[in-house]
Amino acid sequence: MKVGVVAVQGDVSENVEAVRQALAVMEVRGEVSEVRRGAAVKELDAIILPGGESTTISKLIRTKGIFSEILALSRRGGAVLGTCAGAILLADEGDDQVAKTSTELLGLMSMSVDRNHFGRQRESFEAPVKMEPLDRDFSGVFIRAPGIREVRGKCAARGWLEDGTIVAAEQGNCVGLAFHPELTKDTRVHEWFLKRVV
């Protein structure tokens, strides 16, 4: 199994390490690499779009040929995980901020997102997330995080905060998370994602 982490901005090394740890827990042989060019995506079974600044990431993955290759990977059955800013890019509908900044979305998931749903950087927090696929709550780290306002069609909510805010969604082999699972020592979310291509 080959997994890539888009390495243009954001929590790259943390996701690389989280994937390595998840593969070890799963006792699955695989390799994980940092992706800086579109050509590298052709060899992958799964890819992760990490957190960062969504407008910047969108522009950089377009410039470096990664944008179209992520779409091709998804079409051929590969798995795509977007965390925080990555979840925004997976959506097919953003909010006014997404429109104002001309952020180009991949549109792989039928969901609407609010870019800074929980406020600015200083409003970052950690909270339990009730994850449908997991046996117990996951401790979600939210840093200037988006919120998933609505899921439609084949897109399904998979994780919620206590107040009912959707913070995880799944559509086919795509997963969008408003939080950063790579910033915890808990590998269950990465394992759940990787099982799509094991």
Active-site choice (69, 182, 190, 191): 182
Active-site choice (69, 84, 174, 190): 84
- Give the span between the Cα atoms of 147 and 111, in whole angstroms: 10
Active-site choice (69, 155, 180, 190): 180
Residue among 116, 84, 87, 86 nearest 100 (CA): 116
Q: What does the chain come to in residues?
A: 198
Residue among 103, 114, 87 nearest 171 (CA): 87
Q: Per 3-state DSSP, what percentage of the chain is helix, strand, and coil (rounded to 5)?
A: 35, 30, 35
Quickly tell me which residue has 């959707």 as its tokens: 166
- Whether 190 sits among the annotated catalytic residues: the reply is no
Q: Which amino acid is at 134?
A: L
Residue among 177, 93, 85, 182 nearest 133 (CA): 177
Residue among 112, 100, 95 nearest 166 (CA): 112
- Whether 117 sits among the annotated catalytic residues: the reply is no
The answer for residues whose C-beta is within 8 angstroms of residue 134's C-beta and 6 or more apart is 188, 189, 192
- Give the span between the Cα atoms of 104 and 63, in whole angstroms: 12
List active site positions.
84, 180, 182
